[in-house]
Amino acid sequence: MVKPPGFEVALAVCRFQFEFRGTGESLVENIRAHVGRAGGELTGSATSGSFTLSTPVGAFRGGYTISGQTIFLEVADKPFFVPCGAIEARLAAYIKEST
């Protein structure tokens, strides 16, 4: 398919927010460990950052911000066939394990 000049294909984006207990610092450090064990990288602080993760089904990339006891996550790039609901379930499990 030929794209007209100036036509951009939008990236698939998933947005989530989760409540957590504890501190932002401890949450980020625990998630950093989970992502690292999976072969990815999480960079940032207790208030914001980004993550990348390469998997057999494709790469994931996104960012996070923390405000109070809520973490806001945005997946900016993901394999097309991986639904946002599956990502949300995996992230919810990481958050639950990390608090």
pTM here?
0.81
Going by pLDDT thresholds of 50, 70 and 90, the confidence category of residue 93 is confident
The tens digit of pLDDT for each residue in 63-84 reads 999 999 999 999 999 998 999 9
| CA-to-CA separations, 75 to 7, 23, 53, 63, in angstroms, rounded | 22, 23, 11, 7
Helices (H), 1-99: 24-37, 84-98
Please tell me which residue, 34 or 97, carries the higher pLDDT value.
Answer: 34
Contact status, residue 54 vs residue 40, Cβ threshold 8 Å: yes
Q: What is the pLDDT of residues 35-74, one digit of tens each?
A: 999 899 999 999 999 999 988 989 999 999 999 999 999 9
Give the model's pLDDT for residue 45: 96
Architecture, CATH, for domain 14-98? 2-Layer Sandwich (3.30)
Domain layout of the chain by residue ranges? 14-98
